Structure formats: C-alpha cells, structure tokens
Structure 1
C-alpha cells in the first residue's frame, strides 16, 4: 500500500512538472519594444524623447513584461542575451524619461538623491523577477559575466552620441547573430565613432575601455575591427582613441 501511494505521489509530481514546463514561456515577446523603437528612433539611432515622454504606454508595458518574465535556463542562450540587451536599452530609455529634459545621461548622477549612488548606472531601479538591479548589474554583473560575446558593446546604448547606434528594432534570439554583426559593421564604419584609414585609426573609447573583452578566446581587438571595418588595420596602423561625446542621443 505504501509503495502504491508513493508511486502515485511521484507520478503526480512528474505530471505537474511537465505541465509547468510546458506552460513556461521559452522567451519573451519583444514586439512592444520593437514598436517603441520603430516609432521613436530614427535611422541614425537618435531618439525622440520629447514625444516618447508624452506617450510611454508601450514602453512601460514592455518593462512590466520584462519584470514579470526573467530569463529561464530553459531559454536558448541567444534568447537570454537578446532579453538582457533589450532590457538594458529599454531601461536606459526609461531612466532618461524619468529625468527628462537632460543634456546628458551623466547629468542624472547629480540628481539622484540616494546615499553612495552618484552615477545613473548604479541606481537600482530595475525590477527583474524578485531582484532589483541597476544598469551596471545588467551590463557587468549579467551580460559580460555570463555571455562571452564582445559584440554586445556594439548593441548596448547608454543614451550618448558616441554610443553605438540604437537599433530601431528589438533584438530577437533567432536573428541575434545577424543583428550583432550588422551593428558591428555600422559602428566600425561610422567615421564619427571610428575614423579608420590605412595608416591611422582613431577608435571609439568603447574599444579602449572594453579592450580585454575583445582579447578573449584567442582573438585580438584588431581582428574584431578588421572583421567589420571596410578599411583594414595593418601592423603599421597607429591607433589612438577619440574623446567620448556624452551628449544625449536626441533627435533635433
């Protein structure tokens, strides 16, 4: 009798686990964010913050969706990474709107009235599941820690002119590889962000700050640049780094 009851309990637990697994989402639908980006971001990656602040309904609904659906280990790696890139970019938009009008995201640091928090990236205002996070937590504690892909530096946008272009579509797992490659081509061939000639290369400070990320897995920063740049670096190319323009990536 005891064995029969034990078997029935085990069977019920298995059925419940299967049912829960079957009902768990395999990824998040990013179409709401896609709609926001297509409506308020132009082909140059500049944002109409003024209009978005007046109508943040879709953005807020998307952030609520992210908050309630943190990535699961059952998701593909690409679905997880797409989630976190979109989360970083979407919550950056939300942060700007919370303090808008501002001339730069860096101006927000002085406006944060929280002890020991003096940069916008350290402010814990992002609710993902049961965890409260900051933009730093997403970029450094999650993305850079869990995903060995330096191309994320072509996709994360901190609302500055010198950042990579904010893509006016959401990242999605089944197209993520192509999207990140397209971002690499766009970023490395934008002369305002990377001015590369045969003898000289004035590179983005992003490639300086995160150079170590590009040196992993036996690769070099130069090899990554040559993968996407139309003008190739040579052993004789003199490399320097451009000053970073922190002005807001706002449509004029």
Structure 2
C-alpha cells in the first residue's frame, strides 16, 4: 500500500513539473531593457574584429543533422580547441565594442553569445540539455550566471541578449542569430557573423528557421510554432497579425499560402535536447 501511495505521489509530482516547467521558463524571460553602459558606438570606426578562430571551430565541429538542424559535436572537441575557444573569448574581452560601428557591434555580440554558450556547455559536458546546467531544482540553465568580464563589467548571457542586443538593435532577427544549444533553437550558424555580410546572414537565419518544421508547421486548422514566438511575441509583431506577417515575409511559397489569412489555433512547443549528433 505504501509503495502504491509513493507511486501516485511521484506521478502527480512529475505531472506537476511537466505543467509548471514551460510556464516557469516563460515567466523567467527578461524584458528588453537597455544597459546604458553599452549604448555608445563609433559610426566612423574602421575597426574590424577577427572572428577567424570561431570560424575555425565551426568548420571543425558543426555539422548538419539528418533533420536539417545544425549540430555541434561537443564530445569531439579537443583540449587544443578548447584552448582555441578560450583564446577567442580572451581576444573579445580585450576589445571594447563601444569603439565599433553598429554592424560590427552586432556581429561582435552575437558571436560572443554563441561562443560563450558553446564554452559553458563544454565546461559541463556531458549534459543532455543546457537547462540542466546551473540553476536549482527546476534546472533552468546558465543564462543568469556571470560568464564574461568586459571593460570592468560582468556579463551574463541574458545581459547580452536582453540588455544589449534586443534593446540596442530592435531587430527580431536577433532571435534567429543567438543559439541556446538546443534542438528547438534556431541554428548555430555555420558562418561567424560579420559586419559586411550581416544583413544577408540575418535574413538567411530567419528563412532557415521559419521554413523548418521546428520553427513553423501548419497542421490542418492549427499552426504549430516555436515557443520563441510566444516568449518574445512583441519582438515579432504587436499582435497575432503582426506575427503572421513577419513569418510570411520569410516563408517559402507553400508555407506563405498556408499562413495567408490563417485564423485557427496556434500551439507552441520547444525541444530542449542538446544540439549534438546522436
């Protein structure tokens, strides 16, 4: 009898967790709130940041999986390449992004975010999901952990995304560029972001995600969308119509036709498994 009671208690607890975790994550999404310290830029700057070390790591360890998702082979990263990654981060730490022009800044912050994410996963590997890193009982990930020191400031991943990138650039394509090391996330781009190619790279990132089933998938009278469109809805449009217009802007013809005039139910989901080969 005691075992049966324990079984029912555990089942109820697991069901509660399954209900609470998505809502808990959504409630922890920070608002876009500019950190004024990082607001400056130099429109006349000719400085260029060297992202070749990051590109070399992407060339070596990033691969397209069978489902069309870019996968990073964390298990294969050598000690020498971990040092190479740290050297790249050290070089970024020695650069003051406020001395850069805007597009160079954008590339700097996105590449920094993605490289830091890979670094923190490697520091805790093997791990099944980035949400199992740090955090307490609910294991909601490392996003609020201080990971990087720059110009006397301690930065978290959330600082970079929500206090710098989102409020400074006000571009929904940010969400297709930063990668959270998860299968449901927009791809970790195969090419390091650069100021010169930024617009093309951001458009390609948006098209790639929106036209993949993990981003947008019509299902009869329903529409399945990635949870990023729920978590950051205001970034993509003021309302449902604005969101659908955003999606249609990058959709291939068949998907655009399915989105045209859509008035059914929208369901959101997300796959938090680590973006590694299986």
User: Taking structure 1 as the reference length, what is the TM-score of the superposition?
Assistant: 0.82
C-alpha displacement of 1:197: 6.0
C-alpha displacement of 1:185: 0.8
1:194 lines up with 2:216 in the alignment: yes
- Alpha carbons of structure 1 residues 199 and 90: separation in structure 2 relative to 1, 3 Å: same
Helix, strand or coil at the partner of 1:72: helix
Count of residue pairs the alignment pairs up? 223
1:45 lines up with 2:45 in the alignment: no
**Aligned equivalents of 2:108 and 2:120: distance in 1?**
18
CA displacement, residues 31-77 of structure 1 (integer Å, 9 cap, x when unaligned): 1111111111113310000112543122111111111103124x221
C-alpha displacement of 1:26: 1.2
Structure 1 gaps, min length 5? 1-20
1:59 lines up with 2:81 in the alignment: no
1:102 corresponds in structure 2 to 127
2:168 corresponds in structure 1 to 146
Match of 1:77 among 88, 93, 102: 102
C-alpha displacement of 1:211: 0.9
**RMSD across aligned C-alpha pairs, in angstroms?**
2.3
**Aligned equivalents of 2:49 and 2:203: distance in 1?**
22
Match of 2:245 among 213, 223, 231: 223
Structure 2 gaps, min length 5? 1-41
- Residues 208 and 241, structure 1, Cα contact 8 Å, conserved in 2: no
CA displacement, residues 199-241 of structure 1 (integer Å, 9 cap, x when unaligned): 532111001111101126xx92111100111112122342423
Match of 1:240 among 266, 269, 273: 266
**Aligned equivalents of 2:140 and 2:213: distance in 1?**
32
Larger radius of gyration: 1
2:3 corresponds in structure 1 to none
Q: Which moved more, 1:85-94 or 1:231-240?
A: 231-240
**Aligned equivalents of 2:105 and 2:134: distance in 1?**
29
1:36 corresponds in structure 2 to 57
Q: Which moved more, 1:157-166 or 1:238-247?
A: 238-247
**Aligned equivalents of 1:88 and 1:239: distance in 2?**
34
**Aligned equivalents of 1:197 and 1:78: distance in 2?**
38
1:16 corresponds in structure 2 to none
User: Taking structure 2 as the reference length, what is the TM-score of the superposition?
Assistant: 0.74
- Alpha carbons of structure 1 residues 111 and 78: separation in structure 2 relative to 1, 3 Å: same
2:7 corresponds in structure 1 to none
- Alpha carbons of structure 1 residues 133 and 194: separation in structure 2 relative to 1, 3 Å: same
**Aligned equivalents of 1:143 and 1:61: distance in 2?**
23
Helix, strand or coil at the partner of 1:93: helix
